[in-house]
Amino acid sequence: MTITALSEVAPDAEGLSVWPASTAGLPHGGLAVGGVPLTEIADRFGTPVYVLDEGEVRARCRAYRAAFPDADVLYAAKAFLSRAMVRWVREEGLGLDACSAGELELAVTAGFPADRVTLHGNAKSPQDIGAALRLGVGRVVIDSPSEIARLAAAVGTRGAQKVMVRVVPGIMAGGHEKIRTGTEGQKFGLALTDGSAQHAIARVLGQPQLELTGLHCHIGSQITDVKPYTAAVRRMVGLMARVRDTHGVVLSELDMGGGHGVAYRPGEPALDPAALARALRAELAASCAAAKLPPPRLAVEPGRAVAGPAGVALYRVLCVKHTGGRVFVAVDGGMSDNPRPALYGVRYAPRLVGRRSTAAPRTSTVVGRHCEAGDIVADGVELPGDLRPGDLLAVPVAGAYHLSMASGYNMVGRPPLVAVHDGTARLLVRRETLADFRNRDIGG
């Protein structure tokens, strides 16, 4: 679909700060993203539907490359991955962080160089390790002691696989307890405090099939302050110095993971890549100078910060219910395409698009269509008081951890994903249908 001309009006700036930069206001309350009216996307592809602004994705990739010119920037595939996303990330010069054989296979078959891929995962299956070695990934991140022997045995006589060890630095950071991964007592990595990390490093160095290139740490997600990252750098450099002193090995790489926070609603903070880069470079230089270490090559792994703000979810209102002193606006999607509100209590800022309302705002709760009381899209938000069935609601910052976490609950089917760019919309991922469910069920 190509839009040859858009009659733009001055967009309502209020509430659009978290939308893609290409967002433009249209007459009668419409919005266009990437030069394509959202109402036209909903009419053509149906709802629910996800919209991904290619230009926004590429601009965010470039912002990271500009902020980290002397570092490796790896896109975290778990945020969202498709063949088109693989191509955009590759063309913008980023590496890739994958955590399953499925993500690896999709990336490599879509043309991504395997040597620019790092494999993560706290419980890598034999299929994950087999795919990594067969495809020739650049790095495997060791996450547990048992993984060392399994990986070395799988490598066998084919040479040496480059690896990193994931270290838990004991840093509390992250927007929710379920996404804080830098402290002891959770499933990821090897702790500094009890010697687990040091023991794993020694074991890796004793395996000729494994080449230890450096250390990795990921302290959490939705972090909007640079201070936890700089604190983690100090502890990681301290460990690198101990590795040198104990084993005579100077590690050349330090991967500080991702977790870079974005704003989901106007006025919320976000982590600035340029500010993060400055802080990391300064702390790394100072810590390495104090430890008399050459600074290792830095790597970061943004996922949400690249894909999240580039996405918009579109839903149709199915009904509006007044009950118990509350207003519930039920839409045709919900927790099967976005489980994040149920998992983490995430707050969004949905918006009516396609018609201009003059009704006074009313506090409403946007809910999904699924058989769960926790199926909430957006709780306690201000929406026009005359919302009615058939209206179109748009939810910004929907590009990460929505479709990638989608499920088949209630057999509703996962929504399609449409890319927009320069006035053109094209289908990237088709809608899941009843036929898909039926074909997977081979029993009788």
Asked if residues 114 and 136 have their Cβ atoms less than 8 Å apart, the reply is yes
In the Cβ-directed half-sphere of 120, how many Cα atoms lie within 13 Å?
21
Asked if residues 239 and 250 have their Cβ atoms less than 8 Å apart, the reply is no
Whether residues 408 and 299 share a domain: the answer is no
DSSP-derived 3-state class of residue 350 = coil
Q: What is the pLDDT of residue 4?
A: 34
Using the predicted structure, report yes or no on whether residue 1 has a pLDDT greater than 50: no
Cα-atom radius of gyration of the chain, to the nearest Å? 23
Q: What is the pLDDT of residue 226?
A: 94
Whether residues 239 and 356 share a domain: the answer is no
Q: Tell me the per-residue pLDDT of 89-120, one tens digit each, with 9 for 90 and over.
A: 999 999 999 999 999 999 999 999 999 999 99
Partner residues linked to 323 by β-bridges: 326
pLDDT band at 40 (very low <50, low <70, confident <90, very high): very high
For residue 310, the one-letter residue type is A
Q: Which structural domain range is residue 43 located in?
A: 24-52+309-440
Q: Which two tokens stand for residue 267?
A: 């006025």
- Does residue 9 form part of some domain? no
Residue 140 CA to its chain's centroid (Å): 20
pLDDT band at 371 (very low <50, low <70, confident <90, very high): very high
Angle of CA points 169, 171, 174, to nearest 5°? 130
Q: What is the pLDDT of residue 384?
A: 97
DSSP 176-219: SGGG--SSSSSSSSEESTTSHHHHHHHHHHT-TTEEEEEEE---
Whether residues 237 and 128 share a domain: the answer is yes
Percent of the chain with pLDDT over 90: 86
Using the predicted structure, report yes or no on whether residue 149 has a pLDDT greater than 70: yes
In whole angstroms, what is the distance from residue 209 CA to residue 157 CA? 8
6-35 mean pLDDT: 80
Q: Between 324 and 420, whose confidence is greater? A: 420
Nearest to 79 by CA among 303, 292, 323: 303
pLDDT band at 425 (very low <50, low <70, confident <90, very high): very high
Using the predicted structure, report yes or no on whether residue 343 has a pLDDT greater than 80: yes
Q: Which residues of 198-225 are buried (b: 16+ CB within 10 A; e: fewer)?
A: bebbebbbebebbebbbbbbbbbbbbbe
DSSP state, residue 434: H
Q: Which residues of 331-358 are buried (b: 16+ CB within 10 A; e: fewer)?
A: bbbbbbbbbbbbebebebbbbbbbeeee
Using the predicted structure, report yes or no on whether residue 11 has a pLDDT greater than 60: no
pLDDT band at 394 (very low <50, low <70, confident <90, very high): very high
Whether residues 363 and 246 share a domain: the answer is no
Whether residues 332 and 431 share a domain: the answer is yes
Calculated CA dihedral for residues 59, 64, 65, 67, nearest 10 degrees: 120
Whether residues 333 and 390 share a domain: the answer is yes
Asked if residues 241 and 202 have their Cβ atoms less than 8 Å apart, the reply is no
Of 289, 308, 327, the one marking the end of a domain is 308
Q: What is the pLDDT of residue 178?
A: 44
Of 308, 341, 369, the one marking the end of a domain is 308
Q: Look at the chain and report how many structural domains it folds into.
A: 2
Asked if residues 296 and 240 have their Cβ atoms less than 8 Å apart, the reply is yes
Lowest average pLDDT, out of 7-16, 185-194, 371-380, goes to 7-16
In whole angstroms, what is the distance from residue 315 CA to residue 350 CA? 10
| Predicted TM-score (pTM) of this structure | 0.93
Average pLDDT, the chain: 93
Percent of the chain with pLDDT over 70: 93
Q: Which two tokens stand for residue 312?
A: 């918009």
Q: Tell me the per-residue pLDDT of 49-82, one tens digit each, with 9 for 90 and over.
A: 999 999 999 999 999 999 999 999 999 999 999 9
186-204 mean pLDDT: 89
Whether residues 170 and 237 share a domain: the answer is yes
Q: Which two tokens stand for residue 437?
A: 């469910």
Residues 6 or more apart whose CB falls under 8 angstroms from that of 67 comprise 273, 274, 276, 277
Whether residues 330 and 226 share a domain: the answer is no
Using the predicted structure, report yes or no on whether residue 10 has a pLDDT greater than 80: no
371 noted as active-site residue: yes
pLDDT band at 5 (very low <50, low <70, confident <90, very high): very low
Domain CATH for 44: 2.40.37.10
Of 251, 274, 308, the one marking the end of a domain is 308
Question: Could you tell me where the beta strands, DSSP code E, fall in 223-262?
Answer: 253-255
Q: Tell me the per-residue pLDDT of 263-308, one tens digit each, with 9 for 90 and over.
A: 999 999 999 999 999 999 999 999 999 999 999 999 999 999 999 9
Q: Is the dihedral of CA 295, 223, 107, 1 positive or negative?
A: negative
pLDDT band at 182 (very low <50, low <70, confident <90, very high): very low
Q: What is the pLDDT of residue 9?
A: 45
pLDDT band at 14 (very low <50, low <70, confident <90, very high): low
